[in-house]
Amino acid sequence: MGNSLRENSEITAIKFPGKRQALHQTGRFLGLAGTSSNVFALSPAAGPAVTEGLAAETERLLSGRTRDIRFSPQMLAAYRSKTWRQRSTIARSWMIWVGLIAIVFVPVSYLMAPNSFLPAAAISGLAVPALHALGYLVWRKPRSAAVEGLSLVLLMSSVMIAYGFLAVAAGGRDYERFMSCIVYVNTIAIVVFHVEYVWSLLLMVSSTAIFLGFEIFNPAIDLKEAIGTSVFYAMAIFAVTNARKTQLILSQKTFLMSLRDQYRRDQLEILATRDPLTGLANRRSAADLIQQVWNDRSIAREAIALVMADIDSFKRLNDTAGHAAGDLCIQAVAATIVQTVRAEHDLVFRYGGEEFLIVLTRTSPDMALEVTERIRCAVEALAIVNPGTHKADGSHGVVTISLGIALGRDDATPEQVAKSADAALYDAKRSGRNMVFMSSAPAGAISEMDAGTMGQSAPHPVLKDIPRMIA
């Protein structure tokens, strides 16, 4: 009897092929992987998942001084992932506008220095926009910190050298005018480009060296004046660079605060949607996820099966061995179900007490029977002694499970299918327990008298009429 499978009172033997060790994907609709609760997924706009390690580092950094914030490689990767879209948008927008301004500058340069119009047209009208176009391409998709920083240094150094030669061609007082323009642009670039501080510092050194080099060869000023002007410029750009550093630290602190808030929200979501004892999605999750499966057009209703499972004689186990033993039993049974179902297709919920709800998708009647019988066999194979039962009384002496199956139909609701599965579970219990029954009645055809016999559960948004079984 314990190894039997019943459908319409006919017995069919199913061989159990063994337990498959795989993570269950109950949380794939929730963004929660497996049954562990130490990783919480952020929303797509929020960035990567918040691990326990990141959460601990967040608390540590926020408890110290803001100026002492130093990210670990893992935290830095999370920060860069979170801020990528904003950094890219700002950088590319800046490149577009600077490129357009460079083109507009061509006729302006004719008014400033008519004798150097051709060099201005070649450099400001062609070379500089081309350089910014290359930078734009680099920033179109995420790159490493080194690529981002190096692109900034190369872009601005090349632009500065180009305008430096334009200043040489203009000569006279226009020499200083062109150099002043590029100094201004480089300073703004340090503020606009959100890169690591070391690259901003490198750009400061590079631009100062280029400025000094062109100033030394400026025939309009002597060496002392060139050095003095360069030192003044270096001091100004150094101040901007350190302001950029402060801005970066504050941005990182804002990120840490948002990470902490997200982590706390995720924990609350976990508590609301997961069963703390087993780590499975709970009854509240079942309503939403089943509705999503039901509305998924890629899954035929006939390829969905709902399975109601209940640990046999669980109250006797609790009464004789205690609640701690009962909790261990529920955990063991939950883990066994998770390991036995198809990880890529099936969903497992702790529905309440010692009862579980299993959703099989992309299945068939034969597959549903096979998977469900494997669960029954696997639970029995745990050989957990139930001291409240005895073989002499017709019981198995160990913990077993009874299961009821109902297949979906186009003309049935999830509530109706679940009610049919619960009726099948009731038949399995009534017929001796440790059995699998498949409902042969059309979903929704359970009579009011049957429902009254089994009792009614508390109202629920989706599964509001599912009867509750008593072991």
Q: What is the pLDDT of residue 52?
A: 84
User: What are 27's two structure tokens?
Assistant: 């949380």
pLDDT of residue 463 exceeding 80: no
Of 112-126, 190-204, 352-366, minimum mean pLDDT range: 112-126
pLDDT of residue 349 exceeding 90: yes
pLDDT of residue 451 exceeding 60: no
Q: What is the pLDDT of residue 129?
A: 92
Question: Which whole number is the average pLDDT over 278-301?
Answer: 88
Question: Which whole number is the average pLDDT over 306-321?
Answer: 91
Q: What is the pLDDT of residue 468?
A: 37
* Contact indicator for 167, 178 with CB cutoff of 8 Å: yes
What does each C-alpha distance from 398 to 2, 271, 277, 321, 466 come to in angstroms? 11, 32, 21, 13, 28
Of 40-44, 52-56, 288-292, minimum mean pLDDT range: 40-44
Q: What is the pLDDT of residue 187?
A: 85
Nearest to 99 by CA among 138, 143, 140, 155: 155
pLDDT of residue 306 exceeding 60: yes
Of 110-114, 224-228, 289-293, 466-470, minimum mean pLDDT range: 466-470
* Contact indicator for 148, 84 with CB cutoff of 8 Å: no
Q: What is the pLDDT of residue 467?
A: 39
Nearest to 312 by CA among 333, 328, 335, 331: 333
pLDDT of residue 13 exceeding 80: no
Q: What is the pLDDT of residue 461?
A: 33
Any idea which fold 5-37+277-454 has?
A: Alpha-Beta Plaits (3.30.70)
User: What are 138's two structure tokens?
Assistant: 């680099």
- pLDDT class for 40, splitting at 50, 70, 90? very low
pLDDT digits (tens, 9 = 90+) for 379-390: 999 999 988 877
In whole angstroms, give the CA distance from residue 445 to residue 433: 24
* Residue recorded with tokens 């009792």: 455
Which 3 state secondary structure label does DSSP give 402? strand
pLDDT digits (tens, 9 = 90+) for 109-167: 777 767 778 888 888 889 989 999 999 999 999 999 999 999 999 999 998 888 888 88
Q: What is the pLDDT of residue 137?
A: 94
Which 3 state secondary structure label does DSSP give 435? coil
Q: What is the pTM of this model?
A: 0.58
DSSP state for residue 393 in the 8-state scheme = G
Of 61-75, 165-179, 328-342, 414-428, minimum mean pLDDT range: 165-179
Q: What is the pLDDT of residue 422?
A: 92
Q: What is the pLDDT of residue 405?
A: 95
Mean pLDDT, the chain, rounded, equals: 79
pLDDT of residue 8 exceeding 80: no
Q: What is the pLDDT of residue 41?
A: 36
Identify which has the larger pLDDT, 460 or 150. Answer: 150
Q: What is the pLDDT of residue 174?
A: 73
pLDDT digits (tens, 9 = 90+) for 60-82: 999 999 988 999 999 998 999 88
Q: What is the pLDDT of residue 304?
A: 92
- pLDDT class for 392, splitting at 50, 70, 90? low
pLDDT of residue 3 exceeding 80: no
Q: What is the pLDDT of residue 391?
A: 64
Q: Taking the domains of the chain in order of start, what are their residue ranges?
A: 5-37+277-454, 63-260
In whole angstroms, give the CA distance from residue 447 to residue 436: 21
Q: What is the pLDDT of residue 453?
A: 32
Identify which has the larger pLDDT, 443 or 349. Answer: 349
What does each C-alpha distance from 188 to 28, 39, 136, 194, 269 come to in angstroms? 45, 40, 17, 12, 43
CA 114 to chain centre: 58
What is the dihedral angle through the alpha carbons of 111, 112, 115, 119, rounded to the nearest 10 degrees?
A: -100
Region of 172 on the Ramachandran plot (φ > 0 left; ψ -120 to 50 alpha; else beta): left
Identify which has the larger pLDDT, 339 or 23. Answer: 339
pLDDT of residue 30 exceeding 80: no
Question: Which whole number is the average pLDDT over 1-9?
Answer: 36
Q: What is the pLDDT of residue 90?
A: 92
Question: Which whole number is the average pLDDT over 391-396?
Answer: 60
